Amino acid sequence: MTNEDNNTAEYNSTGNETVGRRTFLAATGAATVTTSLAGCLGGISGGGDDVFRIGHLGPTELEMGRGAERSAQLAVDELNDNGGILGQDVELLSEDTGGAPTEGERVTENLIQQDNVDLLVGTFVSEVTQGIIDFVAEMDVPFLITGSADPDTITENHGEDYDHYKNVFRTGPINSDLQAEGMAGYATYLNEEYGWENFSILADDAAWTTSFRDILPTQIEETDGLSVVHEDRMSVETDNFTPFLDAADSADADVVFRFIAHGGAAAFTSTWAQNEYPFALEGVSVPGMSPEFWDATEGACLYETTSQSGAGGVAPLTERSMDFVDAYEAEYGDEEPPSKPMYMGFNSYDAVLFYAEAAEAADTVDYESDLDAIVDAMLDLEFTGAAGSVSLYGPDSEYPHDVRETRTEDGIISNFPITQWQPDGDDGVVECVYPQADATADHVEPEWL
C-alpha cells in the first residue's frame, strides 16, 4: 500500500499500455537530453516537448494525501478530455513527501530538476511547505499550495521579497489567520443558537495552530458576553487527553475548540464521548475529516464538528462541487479510503483547473520567459472551483498571492464551512452545518448536554 507505483499507473491511464510506455521512454529521453543541456543553456524548463507535467506533493500514505493525489488526477483527466492545456497533453507526477521536510525537499528537487515539471501543486504539512519554498522560489516553477494554511509562508516570504517568491501561490484553503476569524464568527453563531458563552481552546503544538492560539482568543472575546476560559497546547505525542478535558471541564467551558491534526484525534474524541464531558467539541480535527472516521472511532465522533474546505463533499458549495464528488466516488469509491476527496482533494483539484484557466488566459506556460504574464493572469482570474470561488490577493495586500476569503452580506467569512457527524439510524453521517447558506442540516448539540 505504501509502495503504490502511482507513476506507472498514471502513464498507463493516458492511453493504451504500449503507447504509454513509449511516450514515457521518449519523455524520459527528452528529459535526460534537456537536463544534460541545461547546464549549457542555463535553464531546465520542460517546454521542449508536448507534455505539460504537473508535480503533486503530499503525504500519500495518509488518507488526506491520497485523496489529494486522486483529485489532482481527476482534474488532469478532465483537462485531457478537453484538449489539454494550450494543446499540450497533461501528465501528473505524484510524489510522497511522507509529511517530512527532508523528504519533501528531496522529491521536490527531483520533480523540478529531473522531471522538469511545469507546475507544482500540493504540500499538506506547513513545515514541508516552508522547507521547500526557497528552492521552489529560486527555480521559478509556479507552485500552488493546496493543503497547508499557515500565514507565515506568505507574510514572511512574499511580504519580505515579493519578486523572489512571486511564483508561489495558495489557492486554498484560506490561511489560518482568516480561519481564526471564521472560527470566531462561528463562536458567535453557537452563542446565538445555544447561549454558550465559555470557550476553551486546545491546540496541537505545531506551526499550523499558531493563529488559533494567538488570534482566536482575542477575536472570540470581541463579541459581548463571550469569554475564553481555558487555553492549552497539546504535544503531538500525547494520546492521554483526560487532563486537558478535565481542565476544560473545571473551567466551566461550554465549547471546546480543539485544533488537532495527528492520529491522537481518535483517542481525544473517544475520551470526550465515553465520559460525556459537558461541552460541545468543535474546531478543526484533520483526522475527523476522514469519511471513515465514524468507523475509526466506533461512532464516538457523533456530534463533533470540524471546519474543512469542500465541506466533506456533502454540500453543493458551487455548481461544480457535486460533479467533482460524484466523479471521485465513481473512480475511487470502492478503493481504499478515503471514499470522498477530503479538503486537500478539493483544493488540489481546483488548483490544477485554476492554473489551466490562467495559462489559457496568459497564452503561455513558459514560466522561464513569461512568468510575469502567468502571474498577472492568475491574479486577474475569478475562478469557480469545487470548494468555492478562488481569487487571489494582489502584491500590495497583507497576504500577497494568498486565496481571498469570501464573505456574506454581514461580513461573516463564508468559505470556511463546518461539518458535523450526525446520527443516521445506527450509523453516522456528515452534514454541513455552517455557514447557514450552505448548510445541509441544523447543528445539533450532544444529547447529554
Partner 1 sequence: MIGQLLSILVLGAMISAVYALVAIGFTMIFGVGGVLNLAHGALIMIGAFAYLALTSTAGTISLPPIVGFVLAVAITAGASYVLYAGLVSYIEDNIVITFLATVVVALLVTEVIIIRFGASPSQLIPVVAGSITLEVVGTRIRYVELVAFVVSWIAIGLLWYYVTKTDEGRSILATSMSRRGAELTGVDLETVKSRTWLIAGAFAGIAGVFIGTLQSTAPEMWLNPLALAFIIVVIGGIGSIKGSVVAAYLIGYLETASIEILGPSFQGVLSLIVLAAVLLVLPQGLYGRELVHE
Residue 60 lies near partner 1 (rule: CB under 8 A): no
Q: Kindly state the smallest distance separating residue 94's Cβ from partner 1, in Å.
A: 18
Q: Kindly state the smallest distance separating residue 297's Cβ from partner 1, in Å.
A: 5
**Got the DSSP string for 359-419?**
HHHHT---HHHHHHHHHHHHHH--EE-SSSEE-B--TTSSSTTBBPP-B-TTS-B-S--EE
Please, which of residues 209-248 interact with partner 1 by CB under 8 A?
234-235, 237-240, 242-244, 246
- Closer of 3 and 18 to partner 1 (Cβ): 3
Residue 62 lies near partner 1 (rule: CB under 8 A): yes
Task: For residue 121, list its beta bridge partners.
Answer: 56, 144
193 alpha carbon, distance to own chain's centre: 29
Selected range binding partner 1 among 81-89, 291-299, 356-364, 384-392, rule: CB under 8 A:
291-299
- Closer of 237 and 409 to partner 1 (Cβ): 237
Q: In the chain, count H helices and then E strands.
A: 16, 14
Q: Kindly state the smallest distance separating residue 205's Cβ from partner 1, in Å.
A: 8
Q: Is 411 exposed, middle or buried (0-12, 13-18, 19+ CB in 10 A)?
A: exposed
Q: Is 16 exposed, middle or buried (0-12, 13-18, 19+ CB in 10 A)?
A: exposed
Q: Kindly state the smallest distance separating residue 235's Cβ from partner 1, in Å.
A: 4
Q: Please state, in angstroms and rounded to a whole number, the distance separating the CA atoms of residues 115 and 51.
A: 11
State which of residues 101, 337, 389, 445 lies at the interface with partner 1 (CB under 8 A): 337
Specify whether the CB–CB gap between 196 and 228 falls below 8 A. Answer: no
Q: Please state, in angstroms and rounded to a whole number, the distance separating the CA atoms of residues 50 and 403.
A: 30
Selected range binding partner 1 among 296-304, 367-375, 386-394, 411-419, rule: CB under 8 A:
296-304
- Closer of 86 and 267 to partner 1 (Cβ): 267
Specify whether the CB–CB gap between 147 and 58 falls below 8 A. Answer: yes
- Closer of 385 and 428 to partner 1 (Cβ): 428
For 107, 109, 136, the CA distances from 366, given in Å and listed in that order, are: 22, 19, 16
Residue 4 lies near partner 1 (rule: CB under 8 A): no
Q: Kindly state the smallest distance separating residue 130's Cβ from partner 1, in Å.
A: 23
Question: Site for partner 1 (CB under 8 A): how many residues?
Answer: 37
Helix (H, G, I), strand (E, B) or coil at 28: helix
Residue 336 lies near partner 1 (rule: CB under 8 A): yes
Residue 300 lies near partner 1 (rule: CB under 8 A): yes
Closest CA to 432 of 339, 314, 329: 314
Selected range binding partner 1 among 24-32, 260-268, 308-316, 322-330, rule: CB under 8 A:
260-268
Residue 82 lies near partner 1 (rule: CB under 8 A): no
Would you mind telling me the total number of residues written for the chain in this entry?
449
Please, which of residues 261-290 interact with partner 1 by CB under 8 A?
263-264, 266-267, 269-270, 274-277, 287, 290
Q: Kindly state the smallest distance separating residue 337's Cβ from partner 1, in Å.
A: 7
Q: Is 236 exposed, middle or buried (0-12, 13-18, 19+ CB in 10 A)?
A: middle
**Which spans of this chain sit near partner 1 (rule: CB under 8 A)?**
1-2, 61-63, 234-235, 237-240, 242-244, 246, 249-250, 263-264, 266-267, 269-270, 274-277, 287, 290, 295-300, 336-337
